[in-house]
Structure 1
Amino acid sequence: MLYSQETMNKEIAISVRRVSKKFRLFNSAKERLAEALHPFRKKYHREFWALQDVSFDVYRGEIIGILGKNGSGKSTLLQIICSVMQPTEGVVEVSGRISALLELGAGFNPEFTGRENVILNGSIMGISRQEMLRRLPAIEAFADIGDFFDQPVKTYSSGMFVRVAFAAAIHVDPEILVVDEALSVGDSKFQHRCFQRIREFMEQGKTIIVVSHSTDTLLRICHRGIVFDSGKLSHIGPIASAVNHYQNLLFGSPDAVEKSSELVFEDKKNKAEISTSLIGALSNDTRDKVSEKPNYNSHEVRLGSGAATIIDFDLISAGIINPHEISAHAETELIIKLRYNDDLTNTSVGFALVTIDGTYVFGTNMIMMQAPLINAEAGRCYAVKFMFTSRLVGGEYFLNIGCNQLVDGTDMFLDVRRSVARIKFSDTPSVVGFVDLGVVHEVIDLNITRSCSI
Structure 2
Amino acid sequence: MSSSKMPDPITLENIVISAQQVSKKFRLFDNPNDRIKEALHPFRKNYHREFWALNDISLDVRKGEIVGILGRNGSGKSTLLQIICGVMRPTHGAIHTSGRISALLELGAGFNPEFTGRENVLLSGAIMGFEADEMKARLPEIEAFADVGAFFDQPVKAYSSGMFVRVAFAAAISIDPEILVVDEALSVGDAKFQHKCYKKIESFRAAGKTILLVTHDVGQITAHCDRAILIDKGSMLMDGPSRDVVDKYIEMLFSDTDELPLEDRPTRDIGTAFKSLEKKEKSNLEKFTEIDKRIEQRGSYCKDEARYGNLAAEIIDCVVEVSGELNAVQLQPGKPARLHLKVAFHQQINPMYGFAIKNLSGIEIYATNSFMCRQPMPLGKAGETKVVVIEFDVPLQAGEYFLDLGVTAVDGSEGGLAADVRRSVMMVQVASNAKKKSFNGLVDLSPKFSVK
* TM-score, structure 1 as length reference: 0.67
Counterpart amino acid of residue 70 in structure 2: L
Separation in 2, partners of 1:81, 1:418: 29
Of 242, 246, 249, the residue aligned with 2:245 is 242
Of 261, 267, 271, the residue aligned with 1:257 is 261
Q: Is the 8 A contact 1:349 1:366 kept in 2?
A: no
What's 1:340 paired with?
Answer: 341
Q: Is the 8 A contact 1:340 1:378 kept in 2?
A: no
Q: Is the 8 A contact 1:288 1:312 kept in 2?
A: no
Q: Alpha carbons of 1:401 and 1:284: their partners in 2 closer, same or farther (altered >3 Å)?
A: farther
Matches within 5 A, 1:217-232: 217-232=220-235
What's 2:37 paired with?
Answer: 34
Q: Is the 8 A contact 1:227 1:246 kept in 2?
A: yes
Instruction: List alignment gaps of at least 5 residues for structure 2.
Output: 284-298, 301-316, 325-333, 345-352, 371-383, 405-421, 439-444
Instruction: List alignment gaps of at least 5 residues for structure 1.
Output: 264-278, 292-303, 314-332, 351-363, 389-397, 426-433, 442-454
Moved more, 231-240 or 246-255: 246-255
Of 380, 385, 405, the residue aligned with 2:387 is 380
Matched, 1:8 2:12: no
What's 1:79 paired with?
Answer: 82
Matches within 5 A, 1:148-167: 148-167=151-170
Separation in 1, partners of 2:45, 2:180: 43
Counterpart amino acid of residue 196 in structure 2: R
Matched, 1:284 2:295: no
Counterpart amino acid of residue 43 in structure 1: N
Percent identity over the alignment is 47
Separation in 1, partners of 2:155, 2:400: 47
What's 2:129 paired with?
Answer: 126
Q: Deviations over 1:192-231 (max 9, x none)?
A: 1111111111221211111011111101111111111101
The 3-state SS of whatever aligns with 1:371 is strand
Moved more, 281-290 or 198-207: 281-290
Separation in 2, partners of 1:53, 1:118: 36
Q: Is the 8 A contact 1:282 1:337 kept in 2?
A: no
Alignment length, in residue pairs? Answer: 359
Matched, 1:61 2:61: no
Separation in 2, partners of 1:243, 1:410: 19
Q: Is the 8 A contact 2:219 2:431 kept in 1?
A: no
Separation in 2, partners of 1:148, 1:210: 28
The CA RMSD measured in Å over matched residues stands at: 4.3
Of 428, 431, 439, the residue aligned with 1:413 is 428
Q: Alpha carbons of 1:139 and 1:286: their partners in 2 closer, same or farther (altered >3 Å)?
A: farther
Moved more, 402-411 or 183-192: 402-411
Q: Is the 8 A contact 1:22 1:47 kept in 2?
A: yes
Separation in 1, partners of 2:361, 2:156: 42
Q: Alpha carbons of 1:401 and 1:384: their partners in 2 closer, same or farther (altered >3 Å)?
A: farther
Q: Alpha carbons of 1:24 and 1:402: their partners in 2 closer, same or farther (altered >3 Å)?
A: closer
Q: Alpha carbons of 1:403 and 1:197: their partners in 2 closer, same or farther (altered >3 Å)?
A: closer
Q: Aligned-pair distance for 1:42? A: 2.3
Matched, 1:309 2:320: yes
Separation in 2, partners of 1:22, 1:170: 31
Matched, 1:21 2:15: no
Counterpart amino acid of residue 412 in structure 1: M
What's 1:429 paired with?
Answer: none
What's 1:393 paired with?
Answer: none
What's 2:217 paired with?
Answer: 214
* TM-score, structure 2 as length reference: 0.68
Q: Is the 8 A contact 1:348 1:367 kept in 2?
A: no
The 3-state SS of whatever aligns with 1:119 is helix
Q: Aligned-pair distance for 1:310? A: 2.4
Q: Is the 8 A contact 1:225 1:237 kept in 2?
A: yes
The 3-state SS of whatever aligns with 1:380 is strand
Separation in 2, partners of 1:48, 1:408: 38
Q: Alpha carbons of 1:347 and 1:8: their partners in 2 closer, same or farther (altered >3 Å)?
A: farther
